[in-house]
Structure 1
Amino acid sequence: MIMPEAILENDDSVAELAYEDLGWVGNDYDDPEISRLRDYLEASNGIRELEIVSPSEIERAASLFHRDGFVAVRDALTPEQVDWLNMGCEREIRNILAIDKHRRGNRGSHRYCFGNASKTGELLHHPEWAMLVDLPTVTPIVTAIWGAPSYLCHGGAGDFCLPGTVEYQRLHSDMADRIMWGDHVFGSFHDHRGMLTYRDLPVPRIACNFLTVDFTRINGPIRQIPGTQYSREPFPTLQEEPEWMKLSTVCPAPAGSVLIRDDRAWHGGTPNLSQEVRPILNVQYWAPWYRENTRPCMPREIYDSLSDHGKQLCQFIVTDNELETGLRPDLGRTPRLMTPEYQDEKL
């Protein structure tokens, strides 16, 4: 459910502000409580003995993915690709913040989903994002995970958290069994017998999250809970969540890495108490045997620039029609369970 929110206000100062000065709106960097949390995270945050593999370690990457529900891979992007992506991120972030003076966000205060803010629901109409669809450093690993190259791309966008994001986002996963909401269908899998859920399946969906900045202990690294992709346990509320889970973050990890995730695995956002914007871009894939509803989000001219395999991946999201691009006036708003007043509601 999406909850009504206050009308956003334009921010005419965004164009003049330095990129690193776009956050900390309404929050004080030097607040004693925030400073204590920053010091604690500097000392304690991060998955212990986090293994980050190289693109050539294909079998090891696939093994870690199947074990943990995610795997981090360094050097997925070249320095030049990272620079190009960061320019695209800054452009889109400034456009979003120009209509959100108080940094209300669409995933909680100072926290944003690029896709929710976009009228297409994705950002694959931009060449920076389309570049990520079929990378030689990533495609072999995704192919190994599924055992075939015939998977499909169904979108690509990502998220960012500004400096001054002081709250945790509650744990969640990015898919569920098929449900109806009015005339809208969400998800795909449904067992009419009530015996199986999407968590009993082999990997149905993968998200590849690309780091364009170093993930540090204090700049809002994603937290991933290993081995939860098959769990039928309810997600804990923030009050119930044990401390080790709050500290189970993918850091430190260098810019240019990719985090390949099973969409079912528990994950959530963490505070960005630094002085830098933390973006993370994504491309999303379906297993060769899995489908959900799609909507066109890639213009033909972008599609034509892809590799042959990239075209195969994007065959169901390309369109010859003109896309209505730009931002939703409300930035897509915030799902109920990511708003402060519902953080302790049971799922």
Structure 2
Amino acid sequence: MSTAIKNQETTVAQYTSEQHDDFARTFERDGLVILPNLLPKEKLVKWREAFDVLLKERVAGNKTAVRGEQRHYITLPFTGVFADETIFCNPDILAVVERVAGEDPVMCQLATDTPLKGSTYQNVHRDTPALFAGFPETPSFQLAVNFPLCDVTLENGPFETTIGTHRTDAAEAMQRHLDGEFPLRAIAMKLGGVMIRDVRALHRGTPNNTDAPRPMVVIGYSRNWYFRPEVNVQIPPDVLATLSPKAKRLLRYMPVLHAEVQDGDAESYTRFAY
């Protein structure tokens, strides 16, 4: 695989500013919003081909963060097809991210969550604690932008989440979930769709009952002052040189490291249940 995307393309927004406002309002109400058919399927097919090789290598070498039986978290190398700013710098994605998490956000994560056959239900959890312990929930400060590398069905391990718990105290949200007020909902997605979500919503992974892996990419975006030491994107210098000023600004806090000194085996983000 090449180490850089040459001549990074520019992408024109598919949605209007008014539609971005609507997406942001849906996000504020529900804790997530889905933008269907946003990413080019032909690009995602190439991502899937590259990921299948990586998955096989990492699983065989026991070099994944295991998130449950037959469920693997893998950080993607920021090279080749994975270093495509038409995806991580997509204007429609960033328009919604900036509306709900503030201007000048930071990209801090590029990874995948993949259940295989034999995977089980995760415990219902959040991906981060409250920003200030003992205080009411705050506006969004940490987002996950998810897109699958295949169609997600009810059979191959769909993400299940609750609606509205991102704005509720963690203990209260869990009790109301147990009382049936915040039921889990499976999110089926088509290849090309993008989900933007607040990581504080109660959610879980579900079993993949098919023979094919179900990879879901996660790109992490945070408010410009929020630092997440458990994740990072390691950027080779030759890839950095191909990026636009906007992309470089998004990645401004990420380490720039030559391939020979990158730590490609360590999966530091192993805590997921708060």
Residue 225 to residue 336, structure 1, CA distance change in 2 (3 Å): closer
Mapped to 2, the partners of 1:218 and 1:96 lie a distance apart of: 24
Post-superposition Cα deviations, 1:83-131, rounded to whole Å, max 9, x if no partner, equal 111012201111122135xxx970111111113xxxxxxx242333332
Q: Which has the higher Rg, Structure 1 or Structure 2?
A: 1
Kindly indicate whether the alpha-carbon contact (under 8 Å) linking 1:151 and 1:287 is maintained by their aligned counterparts in 2. Answer: yes
Mapped to 2, the partners of 1:334 and 1:317 lie a distance apart of: 19
- Say yes or no: does 1:196 pair with 2:156: no
- Say yes or no: does 1:106 pair with 2:87: no
2:44 to 82, 106, 109: 82
Mapped to 2, the partners of 1:336 and 1:296 lie a distance apart of: 18
The alpha carbon displacement at 1:77 in A equals 1.1
1:290 to 226, 245, 263: 226
Match of 1:129 in 2: 82
Deviation beyond 4 Å, 4+ runs, structure 1:
239-244, 331-337
Match of 1:264 in 2: 200
Match of 1:95 in 2: 57
- Say yes or no: does 1:224 pair with 2:161: yes
Kindly indicate whether the alpha-carbon contact (under 8 Å) linking 2:65 and 2:74 is maintained by their aligned counterparts in 1. Answer: no
- Give aligned-pair identity as a percent: 25
- Say yes or no: does 1:62 pair with 2:11: no
Residue 259 to residue 240, structure 1, CA distance change in 2 (3 Å): same
AA aligned opposite 2:57: N
RMSD of aligned alpha carbons: 3.0
Match of 1:273 in 2: 209
Residue 271 to residue 134, structure 1, CA distance change in 2 (3 Å): same
Mapped to 2, the partners of 1:201 and 1:129 lie a distance apart of: 32
Superposition TM-score, scaled by structure 1 size = 0.64
Match of 1:156 in 2: 110
Mapped to 1, the partners of 2:213 and 2:181 lie a distance apart of: 25
Mapped to 2, the partners of 1:84 and 1:317 lie a distance apart of: 25
Superposition TM-score, scaled by structure 2 size = 0.80
Match of 1:174 in 2: 127
Gap regions ≥5 residues in structure 1: 1-53, 116-122, 178-188, 338-346
Kindly indicate whether the alpha-carbon contact (under 8 Å) linking 2:125 and 2:272 is maintained by their aligned counterparts in 1. Answer: no
Count residues with an aligned counterpart. 253
Gap regions ≥5 residues in structure 2: 1-13
AA aligned opposite 2:135: L
Kindly indicate whether the alpha-carbon contact (under 8 Å) linking 1:223 and 1:245 is maintained by their aligned counterparts in 2. Answer: no
Mapped to 2, the partners of 1:63 and 1:204 lie a distance apart of: 16
The alpha carbon displacement at 1:214 in A equals 0.9
User: 1:309-328 counterparts in 2 under 5 A?
Assistant: 309-321=246-258, 322-328=260-266
Match of 2:7 in 1: none
Kindly indicate whether the alpha-carbon contact (under 8 Å) linking 1:300 and 1:318 is maintained by their aligned counterparts in 2. Answer: no
Kindly indicate whether the alpha-carbon contact (under 8 Å) linking 1:76 and 1:258 is maintained by their aligned counterparts in 2. Answer: yes
Mapped to 2, the partners of 1:106 and 1:320 lie a distance apart of: 26
Kindly indicate whether the alpha-carbon contact (under 8 Å) linking 1:55 and 1:75 is maintained by their aligned counterparts in 2. Answer: no
The alpha carbon displacement at 1:291 in A equals 3.2
Residue 63 to residue 139, structure 1, CA distance change in 2 (3 Å): same
Kindly indicate whether the alpha-carbon contact (under 8 Å) linking 2:114 and 2:216 is maintained by their aligned counterparts in 1. Answer: yes
Residue 128 to residue 172, structure 1, CA distance change in 2 (3 Å): farther
